[in-house]
């Protein structure tokens, strides 16, 4: 039987250490049939075989985006982007133009608004936003999605202009006049405004509450599925064949399952059970383990638990071992007590579920490592592949603990201030210079034996993997005496392919290009090894194949 598709005349980086390079690859059904030289592989072609001449370009295993938010990212594709917008006048024009073009929206929403969008020293308030638009509810969200700013009418309609108790680690910032000043910190504070949007804020429930919408009409659900399909197609257009979502609820899982059963998912999805600090420990067995059993295919899986230990540095909600440099006496407040998190980690691992925890500050990172230690002490040294997400600062005493506990460092090359268009302030001032060497220290962690995966945290940062890889390869130290945290190109590619597959227990069938493995392949527009690091982002996928199916083809309208 002849192959269904043959890619030849390529520079194939298989990510298989035993056979790292090849010229051609043959696919049959949803599996890789053979990898080798041009003549050898072309001999497998028949009259009906699709032949793809890569013309010397790189071919890789499909990218595995190890940390993203599909529902929120899909919705954001239709919202205003303030990426790289600076200054009040530029902000005002962007918002007014968007408002004029979207007169029917109940809430105007803008994304990726820098904390320093006005200036290095002036923080946004509702009064600034009222000067731009006062007669329609408007909210703009920081790149990290942990802080938002709303105008007065939005705060009034949401019922929070006079403040409200929003729970530990969340805050409606109040002004000197006794009214909310417009800044909303963390999801509980943001949700009352977000719920007024055209989606009712449903895209935020998986990360905000871990719960499901109380009532969704058939029309709303159909609209949400349509939005998800656009986001999935966008992923495929970027060469992504797998992603690991970092928020989850049953609503998202069931919509994705419906897409798989009707059209077929163009990207493999790993979704978590999202555990919040108010949920009983029994939920892990009654819900998380049940979801794991229900959704357990190569296309859609739910086999891990996600938590937040802290917030973000710029919002002063990250947790540090020592005080914030600019705010003596404040270290941040964790969302879980040490005892509570230890119990979650131990129980999840006992049930066979790995754990992934958002931890920004070194204090939060330490608490998560302590929890994984507690799990090992209770359950034994199992192959749990637990993770810490972000690790923006790590205390030097905790660096060796990653290898000791088998904890995976899940990090984002698009996040260091000064990278991907992000400003240096207020971040550098908030953490203080003593912590700079241990901030976003992925090479230090790798050198200490930690396993690392890379991702973007989309829609927090732009999703294209090639841009993220370029950011990883071009990161500039903040000072001459700071360490260079860049990895080699092949280490970086592994963190986006082979290692990401290993993290989700699928290293036996994806993440490398070898016979018998799933046919997940991306063909680039050029040779990534020949490209200067600064030019990597200018490359693009020209063909994406997931499960043997072409999910994107340049010029193909997919």
Angle, CA 409 vertex, CA 440 and CA 230 arms, to 5°: 90
Stretch 356-381: mean pLDDT: 98
Q: Helix (H, G, I), strand (E, B), or coil: what is residue 306?
A: strand
Cα within 13 Å of Cα(174), Cβ side: 10
Please report the beta strands in 46-190, taking only residues with DSSP state E, as ranges in sequence order.
50-53, 58-61, 63-68, 80-81, 108-111, 138-141, 147-150, 171-174, 180-185
**Number of residues written out for the chain:** 558
As a whole number, the mean pLDDT across the chain is 96
pLDDT digits (tens, 9 = 90+) for 301-347: 999 999 999 999 998 999 999 999 999 999 999 999 999 999 999 99
Task: List the one residue out of 95, 114, 25 whose CA is nearest residue 514.
Answer: 25
pLDDT digits (tens, 9 = 90+) for 538-558: 999 999 999 999 999 998 644
Domains and CATH numbers, the chain: 5-62+513-553 (2.30.40.10), 106-197 (3.10.310.70), 309-456 (3.20.20.140)
Backbone phi, psi, residue 4, to 5°: -80, -35
> What is the rounded CA–CA span in Å between residue 554 and residue 466?
16
Q: Is the peptide bond before 555 cis (omega within 30 degrees of 0)?
A: no
Q: pLDDT at residue 470 above 60? A: yes
Q: 306 pairs with which residues across the strands?
A: 274, 356
Say what the pLDDT of residue 128 is: 98
Contact yes or no for 14/520 (Cβ under 8 A): no
Please report the beta strands in 277-372, taking only residues with DSSP state E, as ranges in sequence order.
300-308, 354-359
Say what the pLDDT of residue 24 is: 98
Contact yes or no for 481/433 (Cβ under 8 A): no
Backbone phi, psi, residue 414, to 5°: -85, -5
Q: pLDDT at residue 212 above 90? A: yes
- Work out the pLDDT band at 23, boundaries 50, 70, 90: very high
Interior/surface letters 437-451, b for 16+ CB within 10 angstroms, e for the rest: bbbbbbbbbbebebb
Say what the pLDDT of residue 121 is: 87
pLDDT digits (tens, 9 = 90+) for 64-109: 999 999 999 999 999 999 988 999 999 999 999 999 999 999 999 9
């Amino acid at each position: 039987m002849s192959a269904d598709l043959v890619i030849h005349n390529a520079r194939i980086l298989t990510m298989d250490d035993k056979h790292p390079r090849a010229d051609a690859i043959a696919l049959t059904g949803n599996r890789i049939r053979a990898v080798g030289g041009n003549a050898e592989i072309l001999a497998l072609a028949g009259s009906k075989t699709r032949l793809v001449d890569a013309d010397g370009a790189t071919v890789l295993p499909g990218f595995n985006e190890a940390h993203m938010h599909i529902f929120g990212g899909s919705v954001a594709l239709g919202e205003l982007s303030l990426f790289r917008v600076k200054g009040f006048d530029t902000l005002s024009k962007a918002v007014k133009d968007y408002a004029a073009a979207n007169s029917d929206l109940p809430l105007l929403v803008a994304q990726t608004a820098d904390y320093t969008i006005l200036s290095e020293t002036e923080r946004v308030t509702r009064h600034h936003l009222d000067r731009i638009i006062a007669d329609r509810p408007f909210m703009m969200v920081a790149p990290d999605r942990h802080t938002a700013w709303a105008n007065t009418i939005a705060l009034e309609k949401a019922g929070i202009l006079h403040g409200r108790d929003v729970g530990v680690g969340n805050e409606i910032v109040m002004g000197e006049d006794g009214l909310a000043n417009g800044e909303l910190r963390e999801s509980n504070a943001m949700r009352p405004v977000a719920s007024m949007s055209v989606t009712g804020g449903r895209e935020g429930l998986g990360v905000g509450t871990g719960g499901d919408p109380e009532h969704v009409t058939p029309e709303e659900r159909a609209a949400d599925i349509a939005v998800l399909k656009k986001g999935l197609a966008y992923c495929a257009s970027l060469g992504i064949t797998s992603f690991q979502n970092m928020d989850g609820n049953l609503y998202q899982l069931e919509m994705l399952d419906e897409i798989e059963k009707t059209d077929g998912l163009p990207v493999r999805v790993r979704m978590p059970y999202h555990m919040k600090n108010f949920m009983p420990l029994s939920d892990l067995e009654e819900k998380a383990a049940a979801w794991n059993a229900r959704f357990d295919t190569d296309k859609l899986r739910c086999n891990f638990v996600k938590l937040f230990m802290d917030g973000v540095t710029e919002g002063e909600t990250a947790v540090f071992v020592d005080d914030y440099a600019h705010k003596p006496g404040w270290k941040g407040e964790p969302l879980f007590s040490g005892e509570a998190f230890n119990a979650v980690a131990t129980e999840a691992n006992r049930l066979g579920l790995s754990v992934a925890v958002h931890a920004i500050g070194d204090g939060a990172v330490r608490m998560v490592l302590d929890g994984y230690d507690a799990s090992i002490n209770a359950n034994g040294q199992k192959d749990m592949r637990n993770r810490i997400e972000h690790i923006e600062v790590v205390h030097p005493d905790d660096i060796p603990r990653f290898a000791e506990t088998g904890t995976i460092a899940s990090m984002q090359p698009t996040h260091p201030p000064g990278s991907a268009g992000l400003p240096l302030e207020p971040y550098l001032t908030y953490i203080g210079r003593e912590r700079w060497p241990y901030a976003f220290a992925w090479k230090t962690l790798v050198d200490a034996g930690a396993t690392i995966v890379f991702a973007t945290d989309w829609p927090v940062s732009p999703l294209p993997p090639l841009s993220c890889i370029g950011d990883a390869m071009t990161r500039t130290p903040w000072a001459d005496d700071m360490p260079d945290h860049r990895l080699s190109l092949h280490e970086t590619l592994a963190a986006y392919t082979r290692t990401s597959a290993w993290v989700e227990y699928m290293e036996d069938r994806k993440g490398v290009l070898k016979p018998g493995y799933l046919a997940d392949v991306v063909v680039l527009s050029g040779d990534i090894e020949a490209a200067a690091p600064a030019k990597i982002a200018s490359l693009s996928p020209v063909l994406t194949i997931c499960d043997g199916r072409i999910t994107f083809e340049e010029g193909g309208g997919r």
